[in-house]
Chain A
Amino acid sequence: MTTVERTPLVDELLAKVEEIRPVIERNRDWNEEHRRLADEVYDAMINAGLFRMTAPNAFGGFEMHPSDIMRVYFSVAKIDIAAGWNLNIGASGAHTLATFPAAGGEEIYATGPDLIAAGSLNPPAKATRVEGGWRVSGRLPFASGCQRAAWLGALCIATNESGVERDPTTGRPLLLFVFMPRSEARVIETWNTMGMRGTGSHDIEFDSVFVPHLRVRIESKETAPAFAGPLYRTPGFVIIGQAVPVLAAAERAADELVSLAATKVPGLSRSKLAEHETAQHHMGKARTFIEAAKSFMYDTLNDGYDHAAAGEPASLALEKRAQMAARFLAEAGTTAMDLVFEAAGTTGFMQSHGFERCFRDVHSLAQHTGHAPGRYASVGKVEFGIRSDTPALSALHAE
Chain B
Amino acid sequence: MTTLERTTVDELLDRVERIRPIIEEHAAWGEANRRIAPEVFQAVRDAGLLRIWLPAAFGGHELHPAGAYRLLERISEIDGAVGWNLNQHAAVTVLATWLQQQGLEEVFSNPDSGFAGVFWPAGAAIEVPGGFRVTANVRFASNSQFAEWFLVPAIVHENGAPRIDPQTGGPDFLATIIHMSEGAIQDSWHTMGMRATASNDVLVDDVFVPAQRAVRVFAPRETPAAVSGPLYRLAPWPGVQAHATVPLGIARAMVNRLVNLAATKVPNFYETTLRDRPVAQFQAAEARAAVDAASAYLASTASNAFNALASGRALTMDEKCAMQLAAANAAEATIRATSLVHQAAGTSGMREGAGFEKLYRDASSIVQHAAVQTNRFESAGRVMFGLEPDWFAFQL
Contact surface of A with B, Cβ cutoff 8 Å: 121-123, 142, 192-196, 266-269, 276, 278, 334, 338, 341-342, 344-346, 348-352, 356, 359-360, 363-364, 366-369, 372-374, 377, 389-390
- Chain A residues lying within 8 Å of B353, measured Cβ to Cβ, are 192
Interface residue? B368 (CB, 8 A): yes
- Chain B residues lying within 8 Å of A360, measured Cβ to Cβ, are 192, 361
Residue contact A377 to B268, C-beta cutoff 8 Å = no
Residue contact A192 to B351, C-beta cutoff 8 Å = yes
Which one of B352, B360, B365, B392 contacts A363 once the chains associate, using CB atoms below 8 Å?
B360
Residue contact A338 to B346, C-beta cutoff 8 Å = no
What's the count of A-B pairs with C-beta under 8 Å?
112
A192-B343 contact given A278-B375, A345-B368, A389-B269, CB 8 Å threshold: no
- Chain A residues lying within 8 Å of B347, measured Cβ to Cβ, are 142, 367-369
- Chain A residues lying within 8 Å of B370, measured Cβ to Cβ, are 267-268, 345-346
A356-B191 contact given A194-B360, A367-B347, A389-B269, CB 8 Å threshold: yes
| Alpha-carbon separation in the docked complex, A266 to B378 (Å) | 14
A349-B374 contact given A195-B350, A367-B346, CB 8 Å threshold: no
Closest to B280 in A: A374
Closest to A341 in B: B364
Which one of B140, B267, B342, B357 contacts A193 once the chains associate, using CB atoms below 8 Å?
B357
Interface residue? B59 (CB, 8 A): no
The list of the 8 closest CB pairs from A to B, nearest first, reads: A356-B192, A194-B357, A349-B365, A192-B352, A364-B350, A351-B190, A349-B192, A122-B268
Residue contact A351 to B191, C-beta cutoff 8 Å = yes
- Chain B residues lying within 8 Å of A276, measured Cβ to Cβ, are 375
- Interface membership of chain B positions 262-287, coded 1 if the CB is closer than 8 angstroms to chain A and 0 otherwise: 00000111100000010100000000
- Chain B residues lying within 8 Å of A363, measured Cβ to Cβ, are 342, 349-350, 360
| Alpha-carbon separation in the docked complex, A369 to B269 (Å) | 9
Closest to A374 in B: B279
Which one of A194, A269, A351, A352 contacts B350 once the chains associate, using CB atoms below 8 Å?
A194
Give min CB distance, A337 to chain B, whole Å. Answer: 10
Closest to B277 in A: A374
Interface-centre pick from A122, A342, A348, A352 (highest chain B CB count, 10 A): A342
Residue contact B346 to A267, C-beta cutoff 8 Å = no
- Chain A residues lying within 8 Å of B352, measured Cβ to Cβ, are 192-194
| Alpha-carbon separation in the docked complex, A352 to B345 (Å) | 29
Which one of A342, A351, A374 contacts B374 once the chains associate, using CB atoms below 8 Å?
A342
| Alpha-carbon separation in the docked complex, A234 to B191 (Å) | 42
Closest to B346 in A: A367
Residue contact B349 to A367, C-beta cutoff 8 Å = yes
Residue contact A346 to B335, C-beta cutoff 8 Å = no
Residue contact A367 to B350, C-beta cutoff 8 Å = yes
A373-B279 contact given A359-B192, A367-B350, CB 8 Å threshold: yes
| Alpha-carbon separation in the docked complex, A373 to B343 (Å) | 7
- Chain A residues lying within 8 Å of B374, measured Cβ to Cβ, are 278, 342
- Chain A residues lying within 8 Å of B342, measured Cβ to Cβ, are 363, 367
Q: A342-B368, A363-B342, A368-B347 are in contact. List 16 more A-B contacts (CB 8 A).
A: A121-B268, A192-B351, A193-B351, A194-B350, A194-B361, A195-B350, A267-B370, A346-B368, A346-B369, A348-B368, A349-B364, A350-B192, A359-B364, A369-B268, A374-B346, A389-B270
Interface residue? B10 (CB, 8 A): no
Give min CB distance, A143 to chain B, whole Å. Answer: 13
- Interface membership of chain B positions 225-266, coded 1 if the CB is closer than 8 angstroms to chain A and 0 otherwise: 000000000000000000000000000000000000000000
| Alpha-carbon separation in the docked complex, A121 to B267 (Å) | 13
Residue contact B268 to A338, C-beta cutoff 8 Å = no
Interface residue? B193 (CB, 8 A): yes
- Chain B residues lying within 8 Å of A194, measured Cβ to Cβ, are 349-352, 357, 360-361
Interface-centre pick from A123, A266, A345, A346 (highest chain B CB count, 10 A): A346
Interface residue? B390 (CB, 8 A): yes
Closest to A282 in B: B374
Give min CB distance, B287 to chain A, whole Å. Answer: 13
- Interface membership of chain B positions 180-194, coded 1 if the CB is closer than 8 angstroms to chain A and 0 otherwise: 000000000011111
- Chain B residues lying within 8 Å of A356, measured Cβ to Cβ, are 191-192
Interface residue? B121 (CB, 8 A): yes
| Alpha-carbon separation in the docked complex, A389 to B270 (Å) | 9
Interface residue? B391 (CB, 8 A): yes
Q: In chain B, residues 348-392, which have Cβ atoms closer than 8 Å to a Cβ of chain A?
A: 349-353, 357, 360-361, 364-365, 367-370, 373-375, 377-378, 390-392
Give min CB distance, B378 to chain A, whole Å. Answer: 6
Interface residue? B29 (CB, 8 A): no
- Chain A residues lying within 8 Å of B339, measured Cβ to Cβ, are 334, 338
- Chain A residues lying within 8 Å of B349, measured Cβ to Cβ, are 194, 363-364, 367
Residue contact B392 to A268, C-beta cutoff 8 Å = yes
Which one of B121, B350, B377, B378 contacts A267 once the chains associate, using CB atoms below 8 Å?
B121
| Alpha-carbon separation in the docked complex, A136 to B307 (Å) | 71
Interface-centre pick from B192, B335, B343, B352 (highest chain A CB count, 10 A): B192
Residue contact B375 to A266, C-beta cutoff 8 Å = yes
Q: In chain B, residues 305-347, which have Cβ atoms closer than 8 Å to a Cβ of chain A?
A: 335, 339, 342-343, 345-347
| Alpha-carbon separation in the docked complex, A268 to B382 (Å) | 15
- Chain A residues lying within 8 Å of B270, measured Cβ to Cβ, are 389
| Alpha-carbon separation in the docked complex, A192 to B192 (Å) | 15
Give min CB distance, B369 to chain A, whole Å. Answer: 8
Between A and B, 5 residue pairs with Cβ closer than 8 Å are: A196-B350, A268-B390, A350-B190, A367-B350, A377-B279
Closest to B357 in A: A194
Which one of A123, A196, A268, A352 contacts B190 once the chains associate, using CB atoms below 8 Å?
A352
| Alpha-carbon separation in the docked complex, A350 to B199 (Å) | 12
Residue contact B192 to A351, C-beta cutoff 8 Å = yes
| Alpha-carbon separation in the docked complex, A374 to B347 (Å) | 12
- Chain A residues lying within 8 Å of B368, measured Cβ to Cβ, are 342, 344-346, 348-349
- Chain B residues lying within 8 Å of A195, measured Cβ to Cβ, are 350
Residue contact A278 to B378, C-beta cutoff 8 Å = yes
| Alpha-carbon separation in the docked complex, A338 to B342 (Å) | 14
| Alpha-carbon separation in the docked complex, A142 to B367 (Å) | 31
| Alpha-carbon separation in the docked complex, A366 to B350 (Å) | 10
Give min CB distance, A26 to chain B, whole Å. Answer: 21
Give min CB distance, B276 to chain A, whole Å. Answer: 13
Give min CB distance, A25 to chain B, whole Å. Answer: 20
A268-B279 contact given A192-B351, A350-B190, A363-B360, CB 8 Å threshold: no
Which one of A346, A352, A372, A389 contacts B343 once the chains associate, using CB atoms below 8 Å?
A372
| Alpha-carbon separation in the docked complex, A367 to B268 (Å) | 11
Give min CB distance, B319 to chain A, whole Å. Answer: 21
- Chain A residues lying within 8 Å of B375, measured Cβ to Cβ, are 266, 268-269, 276, 278, 345
| Alpha-carbon separation in the docked complex, A195 to B352 (Å) | 10
Interface-centre pick from A123, A267, A364, A369 (highest chain B CB count, 10 A): A267
Closest to B392 in A: A268
- Chain A residues lying within 8 Å of B392, measured Cβ to Cβ, are 268
| Alpha-carbon separation in the docked complex, A333 to B360 (Å) | 17
- Chain A residues lying within 8 Å of B378, measured Cβ to Cβ, are 278
Closest to B350 in A: A364
A345-B268 contact given A192-B353, A363-B342, A372-B343, CB 8 Å threshold: no
Residue contact A372 to B350, C-beta cutoff 8 Å = no
